[in-house]
Chain A
Amino acid sequence: ELKVEQNPLFLSMQEGKNYTIYCNYSTTSDRLYWYRQDPGKSLESLFVLLSNGAVKQEGRLMASLDTKARLSTLHITAAVHDLSATYFCAALLYSGGGADGLTFGKGTHLIIQP
Chain B
Amino acid sequence: DSGVTQTPKHLITATGQRVTLRCSPRSGDLSVYWYQQSLDQGLQFLIQYYNGEERAKGNILERFSAQQFPDLHSELNLSSLELGDSALYFCASSVDGFGYGYTFGSGTRLTVV
On A, residues with C-beta under 8 Å from B are 31, 33, 35, 40-43, 45, 48, 88, 90, 92, 94-104, 106-107
B90–A43 contact, CB under 8 A?
yes
Taken together as a complex, chains A and B put the C-alpha atoms of A96 and B90 apart, in Å, by 24
Q: Are A99 and B97 CB-contacts (below 8 A) given A42-B2, A104-B42, A104-B43?
A: yes
Q: Are A100 and B90 CB-contacts (below 8 A) given A41-B106, A42-B105, A42-B107?
A: no
Interface size range on B against A: 20 to 34
- List chain B residues, Cβ under 8 A from A41: 106
B105–A101 contact, CB under 8 A?
no
Taken together as a complex, chains A and B put the C-alpha atoms of A111 and B109 apart, in Å, by 24
Q: Are A103 and B45 CB-contacts (below 8 A) given A45-B103, A98-B55?
A: yes
- List chain A residues, Cβ under 8 A from B88: 40
